[in-house]
């Protein structure tokens, strides 16, 4: 029997990489299953692909999948002729560079499709002997993030050919009742996915088993079979309390998302890049989004606009109230923003921070939002020094959100800067819907409900992040940790925060609020490990592409 040569080459992730299509005659994928199980918001997805080499000689067979950006690969296995090989996910130094290159290539080739935006690629190949079969099995895990009042589980499938035995099966288990659910995405067009008969409000099953013919007829497919995503959207019941606490063998997870709180007013400053590279569509979309966002401000909000190129141009020296008059003239101003000059991010952000610091308002939530499409090219240009300056100026007083527009932007720099200042960075894709992306991002931070949120767990240890500057309507705060001595009796969770001018406290006087987790013990531990590693990665900003083997502590 011929010796099988196993070659493992796991590449770093690349978004929208142009890769050669495999020769369809060479091999056949005859089985492709995706099985995703979500328990208390934690998704574990297993992709299994079984492939046969049709040729009379050894052939290189490729396994290529897209996985969500925030997911970790926890396992990769290949089995050839009953022999099992465990994959090693190798660190790839050039990953960032490949990523940027791929981004620009993808952009110019128009390859970054809307489904590709929140996904990253995983590719490996193996040489398989004549007429032999190989099974690839990849497991990835992620904590679903609640945005705008819902969770979204996105499953992408592009097997590159119609597959005889193709299945996507999803099971969702949640302890508070599931209050709504919907199946969306290009694969579900026409509606081929079926929702299983619900045994209870705590379970949701979705099955998608298209025939070979259906695989060439759906909205997101062609002769090469399926090419699109299945998106399951849902949310669970929320109330005004401490939220849902689950415990399992010494580990706990706490989902905090109280409703029924009053909106608090905000002090928001938009710092807008008007450098030459914003020319054309980007500038037009920015103007359109800004006009829309200004119209959405509440009357008791205060706002400021700062445009910048090589110089900084505050619209007004201080924040103004979002009353009809001020919003009206701000919109007029927004409509006249024109591109010119280079990019002095440092001075612009320092000006924004100064304005927020000089205009504090008790009981409001301050927010600084930067929109840029490029590297710093004038003023202070060293990213490390800019980061230091900005951190000093903000001094943990309010979050900074960075929106990186297009593919020329130094996204790593923006992301690090946001994370250092308790915000997040978001990439805005240079596409026809960029103004919608901008508005969508704004909607997530439009309604602050709490500030200075501190989650306190007496009798808890090894906690993930517990201090959060803001809690927004539609979002969720998740904390995991260990219960000291596994003693529920001495474990006492509470949350203190500020709502407008009031101090508020969420607590329960007895421990019956801590439910036994519906997920198994190992899953609660995995969720904890996931959050711990993710937050460590964010903090250190180790390149967050999948250069990482997601190691669980045993
Ligand atoms: C999916 O995976 C889970 C966990 O491994 C298993 O219990 C379940 O039976 C699988 N579902 C399907 C439809 O294969
Ligand atoms: C928060 O969002 C929910 C659902 O979208 C909405 O019903 C509620 O009014 C919002 N709360 C505030 C204070 O805007
Ligand atoms: C959380 O915030 C409080 C109050 O500002 C502070 O005393 C505490 O050290 C912070 N905890 C962490 C882990 O940063
Ligand atoms: C916290 O983690 C450390 C290191 O892993 C471990 O030794 C300790 O037992 C943990 N604490 C609790 C209360 O479980
Ligand atoms: C604990 O809380 C539960 C549910 O909120 C309640 O039914 C029970 O009576 C409480 N027990 C005590 C001792 O307060």
The reply to whether ligand 5 has any atom less than 6 angstroms from the CB of 191 is no
CA proximity to 370, closest of 430, 429, 438: 438
What is the reported pLDDT for 119? Answer: 67
Of all atoms in ligand 3, which is nearest to the CA of residue 463?
Answer: 13
What digits encode the pLDDT tens for the residues 38-57?
998 999 999 999 999 999 98
Place of tokens 């390859």: 111
**What fold does the segment set 266-446 form as a domain?**
Rossmann fold (3.40.50)
- Give the separation between CA 448 and CA 302, rounded to whole angstroms: 13
User: Which CATH code, of 2.60.40, 3.40.50, 1.20.120, 2.40.480, is assigned to 2-236+545-552?
Assistant: 2.60.40
Tokens of 365: 């939530």
The pLDDT tens digits for 347-400 are 999 999 999 999 889 899 999 999 999 889 999 999 999 999 999 999 999 999
Percent share of the chain, pLDDT over 70? 84
Q: 3-class SS at 3?
A: coil
Tell me 391's DSSP state. H
User: Residue 245 pLDDT more than 70?
Assistant: yes
Residue 431: pLDDT band (50, 70, 90) is: confident
Q: Is the CB of 205 under 6 A from ligand 1?
A: no
Planar angle of CA 499, 233, 222, nearest 5 degrees: 145
pLDDT at 143: 95
* Residue-level pLDDT at 246: 87
Contact 400, 469 (CB under 8 A): no
Predicted confidence band of residue 12 (pLDDT cuts 50, 70, 90): very low
What's the Cα-to-Cα distance from 180 to each of 15, 44, 202, 334, rounded to whole Å? Answer: 32, 21, 11, 38
Sign of CA dihedral 477, 480, 484, 490: positive
Q: Calculate how far, in angstroms, residue 462's C-alpha sits from the geometric centre of ligand 4.
A: 6
**Cβ 264 vs Cβ 211: under 8 Å:** no
C-alpha–C-alpha distance, residues 318 and 326, integer Å: 12
Q: Domain spans of the chain?
A: 2-236+545-552, 244-261+449-511, 266-446
- Is any ligand 3 atom within 6 A of the Cβ of residue 466? yes
Question: What is the rounded (10 degree) CA torsion for 111, 418, 244, 261?
Answer: -110
List helix spans (H) across 311-362: 324-335, 345-358
Q: What is the pTM of this model?
A: 0.86
Looking from the CA of residue 35, the nearest atom of ligand 1 is: 1
Mean pLDDT computed over every residue of the chain: 84
Mutating to test ligand 5, I would choose from 510, 511, 513 the residue with most ligand atoms within 8 A of its C-beta, which is 510
Read off the pLDDT of each residue in 496-525 and give the average, rounded to a whole number: 75
**Per-residue pLDDT band at 135 (split at 50, 70, 90):** very high
For Cα atoms 203, 455, 549, give the angle at the middle one, nearest 5 degrees: 65
Q: Is the pLDDT of residue 339 over 80?
A: yes
Nearest to 384 by CA among 427, 409, 420, 331: 420
- Considering only CA atoms, which residue is closest to atom 3 of ligand 4? 462
Q: Which of 195-199, 293-297, 301-305, 455-459 has the lowest mean pLDDT?
A: 195-199
pLDDT, average across residues 314-326: 96
Token pair for 200? 């209870």
- Contacting residues for 121 by C-beta, under 8 A, at least 6 apart: 13, 14, 15, 16, 17, 64, 65, 66, 67
């Amino acid at each position: 029997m011929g010796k099988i040569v196993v070659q493992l080459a796991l590449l770093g992730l690349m978004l929208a990489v142009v890769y050669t299509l495999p020769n369809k005659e060479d091999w056949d994928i005859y089985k492709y299953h995706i099985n995703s199980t979500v328990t208390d918001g934690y998704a574990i997805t297993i992709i299994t692909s079984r492939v046969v080499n049709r040729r009379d000689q050894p052939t290189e067979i490729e396994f290529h999948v897209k996985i969500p950006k925030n997911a970790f690969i926890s396992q990769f296995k290949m089995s050839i002729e009953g022999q099992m090989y465990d994959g090693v996910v190798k660190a790839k130094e050039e990953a960032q560079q490949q990523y940027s290159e791929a981004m620009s290539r993808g952009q110019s080739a128009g390859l970054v499709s809307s489904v590709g935006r929140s996904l990253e690629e995983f590719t490996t190949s193996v040489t398989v002997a004549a007429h032999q079969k190989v099974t690839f099995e990849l497991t990835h895990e992620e904590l679903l993030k609640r945005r705008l009042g819902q969770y979204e589980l996105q499953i992408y499938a592009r097997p590159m050919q119609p597959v005889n035995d193709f299945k996507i099966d999803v099971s969702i288990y949640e302890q508070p009742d599931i209050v709504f659910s919907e199946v969306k995405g290009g694969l579900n067009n026409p509606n081929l996915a079926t929702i299983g008969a619900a045994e209870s409000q705590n379970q949701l099953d979705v099955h998608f088993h298209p025939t070979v013919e259906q695989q060439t007829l759906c909205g997101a497919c062609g002769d090469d079979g399926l090419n699109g995503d299945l998106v399951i959207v849902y949310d669970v019941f929320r109330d005004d309390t401490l939220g849902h606490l689950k415990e399992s063998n010494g580990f706990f997870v706490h989902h905090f998302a109280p409703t029924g709180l009053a909106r608090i007013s905000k002090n928001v400053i938009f710092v807008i890049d008007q450098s030459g590279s914003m020319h054309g569509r980007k500038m037009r979309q920015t103007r359109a989004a800004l006009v829309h966002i200004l119209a959405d401000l509440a009357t008791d909000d205060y706002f400021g606009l700062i445009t910048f190129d090589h110089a900084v141009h505050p619209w007004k020296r201080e924040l103004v109230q979002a009353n009809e008059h001020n919003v009206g003239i701000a919109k007029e101003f927004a409509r006249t923003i024109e591109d010119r000059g280079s990019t002095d991010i440092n001075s612009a952000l320092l000006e924004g921070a100064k304005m927020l610091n000089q205009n504090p308002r008790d009981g409001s939530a301050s927010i600084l939002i930067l929109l840029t499409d490029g590297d710093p090219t004038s003023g202070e240009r060293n990213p490390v020094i800019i980061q230091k300056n900005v951190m000093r100026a903000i001094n943990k007083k309010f979050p900074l959100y960075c929106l990186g527009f297009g593919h020329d932007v130094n996204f790593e720099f923006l992301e690090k800067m946001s994370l250092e200042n308790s915000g997040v960075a978001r990439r805005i894709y240079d596409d026809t819907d960029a103004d919608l992306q901008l508005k969508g991002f704004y909607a997530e931070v439009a309604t602050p409900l709490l500030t200075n949120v501190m989650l306190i767990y007496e009798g808890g240890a090894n906690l993930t992040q517990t201090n959060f500057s803001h809690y927004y309507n539609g979002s969720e705060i998740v904390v995991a940790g260990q219960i000291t001595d596994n003693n529920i009796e001495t474990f006492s969770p509470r949350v203190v925060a500020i709502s407008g001018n009031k101090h508020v406290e969420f607590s329960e006087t007895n421990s019956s609020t801590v439910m036994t987790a519906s997920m198994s013990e190992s899953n609660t531990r995995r969720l904890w490990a996931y959050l711990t590693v993710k937050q460590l990665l964010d903090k250190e900003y180790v390149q967050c592409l999948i250069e990482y083997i997601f190691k669980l502590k045993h």
